[in-house]
A and B are shown apart, each in its own frame.
Chain A
Amino acid sequence: MGFRRWVQTFCLTIFLGLLFIASGDLILSPAADFFLRLDPSIALITTISSRHFLGGLIPAVVIILLTIFLGRFFCGHICPLGTTLDVADKVFAVPYKKRKNVGYLRSLKYLVLIALTGASLFGVSYIFLVSPLSLITRFYGLMILPAVNYLTGGAHQILFPLWEQLDINALLFFQIKSLRYQTQFFVLLFFTGLFSLSRITPRFWCRYLCPAGALFALFSRKPLVHRVVSDKCNECGKCVRACSMGAIDEADFLQTCFEDCVVCLTCEKICPESAITFSREPAPVQNGIISTLPTRRQFIVAGVAGTSTAMVSLTGLNSSVGKAGQGQVVPPMLIRPPATLPELDFLARCVRCGECMVACPTNTLQPIWFDAGLMGLFSPAITPRRGFCNPDCHRCAEVCPTESIRVISKEERVWAKTGTAMIHRQKCLAWEHDKKCMVCDEVCPFGAIEFTQESGLSVTVPKVKEEKCSGCGYCEYHCPVQNQSAIVVTPMNALRLTHGSFKVTAEQAGLKISRKEKSPPTYPGSEKSDSPAPGFDSNFAPGFDAGEDEKSSSAPGFSK
């Protein structure tokens, strides 16, 4: 295994390791999003669409600067998608002679980048559809990891009799988080397609489609260190056939298309004459740079395509453009993670990498389909039936590469209201069926469920104190009513602040979110101690009764 393979293996291992650490809830990895911050396409498009330069994206700038000297080294060495595609190419790629000539697609990646930039000028970010780091994070995080977990859990289950024999506590109580995600079929189909493209040429994605590759290519047109062919070359063509990027001119082996060269050094290694080196020397034969830049006409068409897509998106019914309030058609049950930016800003920033969903300990964060229109595709939403949103946890914010979810202090976190619970009384066991339940009250961390007694009902019934509810979804998650919970979190009064304190804003709005206080019980008797129960039903503390089994002996219409 050569140097490059080692580097690739190392980088992919780090990438997967960070993802794996992010998925566990033991320690937080502050660098979970590190690789995403290396992607210059994310940095460029997000900066333009959000009108905001994020310090966290400086690593991408550093990579770009290095590219000026070293060429597209990132693609050949660091990019986890590139490495994954190299593996896929090993399996699927066809011999050189059988490859189709699709060289005319070379400028396509620039057009992709131009279209994205065009859309981002209007504040619309579609980078999530094509960012290599976003895609590969979803591939491993939302598709491979859950599958691995599932298989590990299954294996543990099958081997359970063995663990019982061994009687080792850690094995007996080994629990692996079962993960489920929506929209992974997109990831599956996308990557099936991507791997299939190996049948056309290796690294099809990197050659023709990748917008980050396009950005690197722009800066690597004349890299300082580059491929140099000496006059020892006997034109055997071995390098041309071995080049996974097709960066060597098929007519003139001395010529290199530096825009496409990923500095993998394969040609240097395999040249039987040792005629190829990567150095700062100028190439002996120089007929000018081979350029794959698009034509002016193509440029304009791509730009217009991007801007018109933005226009269509912004004028879609579900677009949240303009001021919040009347006329906004917002998905009725879309709950964003705590401290998510206001919707339009959020969508301009979120790159749908899925890091937040990987890091979410309760699996409540799910990518959505088209609930919020095309612009909201794959964006994260709290899904309380799947899991509650722990008020002590804000891992989603900590791993977000673009600060789409604000990083706030622990104290602030509690005030970052995500919505308000609402009781469907007709589904509620207590309200509709007069059954003892009160699970919503039992699990609410904020004492936001008030229990009262209503005439005609023998049991206590729940009511939501709106100003105390943080929208965490404990109630909806735990509600014993099947399928559709009898208590649901709606986005009502969610706090979405660009800046400023959640606590101050919430308190000004009259919210009283606290884990220390709970309204004093409204039960007769709570104020007078030891007084005998003055009556039946309504005068007992919640859950207590007169102490007799109810016996309705009389038939309807008859008196006792």
Chain B
Amino acid sequence: MDRRDFLKTQAKGALLLSMGASGLFLPEPGIAATEPDIAKVKGAPAAATRAAVELLGGIQKFVKPGDRVVIKPNMSFNRSPEQASNTHPEVVRELAVMCKEAQAAKVFILDHTLASPKMCLLRSGIEEACKSVDPNMVYTINESNLYQDVPIPRAVNLNQTQLIKEVLKADVLIAAPVAKSHSATGVSLSMKGMMGLIWDRWIMHRQGLDETIVDLCTVLKADLTVIDGSRVLSTNGPHGPGKVLRENTIIASRDMVAADACAVESFTWYGRKYKAKQVGHIREAHRRKFGRMDIDNLTIKTVTI
């Protein structure tokens, strides 16, 4: 199923949802009982990434041979890996390697950068790190003609957007954000990170970030979310520089909301602990049954390697 079909299914789903608007059912937790809803691994970035995905059943569960995969990291800022504004290059690289191992036909690492594309590619270290996997896989998409208008059928606020054309074609979408604070939305994790795959993100600020982030995620629902908490930008995010916590943690889940919620509650933000429900867009996503933030009711497997 490519993303186009996915969108159609989503439209049908929206109908269904509106029929049963009372919404008694929350999304079912993990498909197989043996696999946890959330995998949380402590260790070196690459190894922990691999282990976390293994805990969820391995990359083969997500990527089938011949699939086109888009990985969405954070590489929007002219900052070095230790400043934690961008995803750790080794996390991105390991994901790309795993997708290749699962015989993905194409793997792309895409972002619509805020700072100069050239500097982002250079300073984030992601381009360099992925060169050995495939020299033609990391792209910053900063020209509007590579985006395509797409309706958002399940939107409550943002009825349409423009997605990178390749994302529309992709069979698998992997969110690979770094864990960081955000001065407007509290945190910037997998859901917020999807704003890097669209052309006009500014309309979301005008219309209300919390609702529109969830709207956007209904068409950009990651099949796999891997949050890079190897370093956490705990203050002054998303750009920094700010306080960087060395957490050496990777959090993975099939559920973007659960992964984000787990990241919020796993780390400290501005020196304090917060509950996932204190983040507007996570709360909104949970309320709209897009995913679950009640991680206390989910199975979390924590491993240290």
Q: Which residues 125-177 of B have a CB within 8 angstroms of A?
A: 136-137, 139, 141-143, 145-146, 165-166, 169
Taking a contact as CB atoms closer than 8 A, the residue among B139, B203, B278 that contacts A173 in the complex is B139
Residues of the B chain whose Cβ atoms lie less than 8 Å from the Cβ of A478: 114, 202
Considering the complex of A and B, which 6 residue pairs feature the smallest CB-CB distances, nearest first? A480-B202, A543-B186, A541-B270, A438-B184, A480-B205, A438-B183
Contact present for A547 and B283 (CB under 8 Å): yes
Residues of the B chain whose Cβ atoms lie less than 8 Å from the Cβ of A99: none
Residue from the set B141, B169, B239, B269 with the largest chain A CB neighbour count within 10 Å: B239
A167-205 CB mask vs B (1 if < 8 Å, else 0) is 101101101111000000000000000000000000000
Contact present for A169 and B136 (CB under 8 Å): yes
Query: CB of A270 within 8 A of chain B?
Result: no
- In the complex, identify which listed stretch (B6-14, B88-96, B115-123, B215-223) lies at the interface while the others stay far away: B115-123
**Count of A residues near B, CB < 8 Å?**
67
Whose C-beta in chain A lies nearest to the C-beta of B119? A392
Interface residues on B, range: 35 or more
Q: How far is the CB of A179 from chain B (nearest CB, A)?
A: 12
Residues of the B chain whose Cβ atoms lie less than 8 Å from the Cβ of A160: 165
Residues of the A chain whose Cβ atoms lie less than 8 Å from the Cβ of B146: 173, 175
Query: CB of B241 within 8 A of chain A?
Result: yes
- In the complex, identify which listed stretch (A37-45, A517-525, A551-559) lies at the interface while the others stay far away: A517-525
Contact present for A549 and B116 (CB under 8 Å): no
Whose C-beta in chain A lies nearest to the C-beta of B145? A157
A497-534 CB mask vs B (1 if < 8 Å, else 0) is 00000000000000000011110110101111111010
Q: How far is the CB of A389 from chain B (nearest CB, A)?
A: 10
Residues of the A chain whose Cβ atoms lie less than 8 Å from the Cβ of B202: 439, 478-480
Query: CB of A459 within 8 A of chain B?
Result: yes
A397-430 CB mask vs B (1 if < 8 Å, else 0) is 0000000000000000000000000000000011
* Interface residues of A, Cβ cutoff 8 Å to B: 25, 153, 156-157, 160, 164, 167, 169-170, 172-173, 175-178, 361-362, 390, 392-393, 429-430, 435-439, 441-445, 447, 451, 459-460, 474, 478-482, 515-518, 520-521, 523, 525-531, 533, 540-549
Task: Summarize A's interface: helix, strand, loop or mixed.
Answer: loop
Whose C-beta in chain B lies nearest to the C-beta of A517? B241
Contact present for B270 and A523 (CB under 8 Å): yes
Known contacts A172-B166, A541-B274; 17 further A-B pairs (Cβ under 8 A): A177-B143, A429-B205, A430-B184, A441-B239, A442-B184, A444-B239, A480-B201, A517-B241, A518-B242, A521-B235, A525-B272, A541-B186, A542-B181, A542-B270, A543-B280, A544-B269, A545-B278
CA distance in complex: A170, B206 (Å) = 35
Residues of the A chain whose Cβ atoms lie less than 8 Å from the Cβ of B116: 361-362, 390, 392-393
B244-287 CB mask vs A (1 if < 8 Å, else 0) is 00000000000000000000000011111111011110010001
Q: Which residues 173-220 of B have a CB within 8 angstroms of A?
A: 181-187, 201-206, 208-210
CA distance in complex: A543, B277 (Å) = 12
Residues of the B chain whose Cβ atoms lie less than 8 Å from the Cβ of A429: 205-206
Q: How far is the CB of B264 from chain A (nearest CB, A)?
A: 9
Tell whether A442 pairs with B283 under 8 Å between CB atoms, given A392-B78, A437-B184, A547-B275. no
Contact present for B236 and A447 (CB under 8 Å): yes
Query: CB of B291 within 8 A of chain A?
Result: no
CA distance in complex: A531, B273 (Å) = 8
Residues of the A chain whose Cβ atoms lie less than 8 Å from the Cβ of B139: 169, 173
Task: Summarize B's interface: helix, strand, loop or mixed.
Answer: mixed
Residues of the B chain whose Cβ atoms lie less than 8 Å from the Cβ of A393: 116
Q: How far is the CB of A337 from chain B (nearest CB, A)?
A: 16
CA distance in complex: A445, B240 (Å) = 8
Residues of the B chain whose Cβ atoms lie less than 8 Å from the Cβ of A173: 139, 141, 146, 166
Residues of the B chain whose Cβ atoms lie less than 8 Å from the Cβ of A527: 271
Query: CB of B36 within 8 A of chain A?
Result: no
Contact present for A436 and B205 (CB under 8 Å): yes
Contact present for B78 and A544 (CB under 8 Å): no
Residues of the A chain whose Cβ atoms lie less than 8 Å from the Cβ of B187: 543
Contact present for B141 and A436 (CB under 8 Å): no
Whose C-beta in chain A lies nearest to the C-beta of B110? A173
Residues of the A chain whose Cβ atoms lie less than 8 Å from the Cβ of B269: 541, 544
Contact present for A169 and B137 (CB under 8 Å): yes
Taking a contact as CB atoms closer than 8 A, the residue among B115, B136, B242, B274 that contacts A544 in the complex is B274
Tell whether A543 pairs with B271 under 8 Å between CB atoms, given A478-B114, A517-B241. no
Residue from the set A541, A542, A543 with the largest chain B CB neighbour count within 10 Å: A543
Contact present for A175 and B141 (CB under 8 Å): yes
Tell whether A543 pairs with B283 under 8 Å between CB atoms, given A175-B142, A435-B205, A531-B272. no
Tell whether A361 pairs with B143 under 8 Å between CB atoms, given A435-B208, A436-B184, A547-B277. no
Taking a contact as CB atoms closer than 8 A, the residue among B240, B270, B278 that contacts A546 in the complex is B278
Contact present for A549 and B115 (CB under 8 Å): no
Residues of the B chain whose Cβ atoms lie less than 8 Å from the Cβ of A540: 274, 278
Contact present for B279 and A543 (CB under 8 Å): yes
Query: CB of B238 within 8 A of chain A?
Result: yes
Residues of the B chain whose Cβ atoms lie less than 8 Å from the Cβ of A167: 106
Contact present for A549 and B183 (CB under 8 Å): no
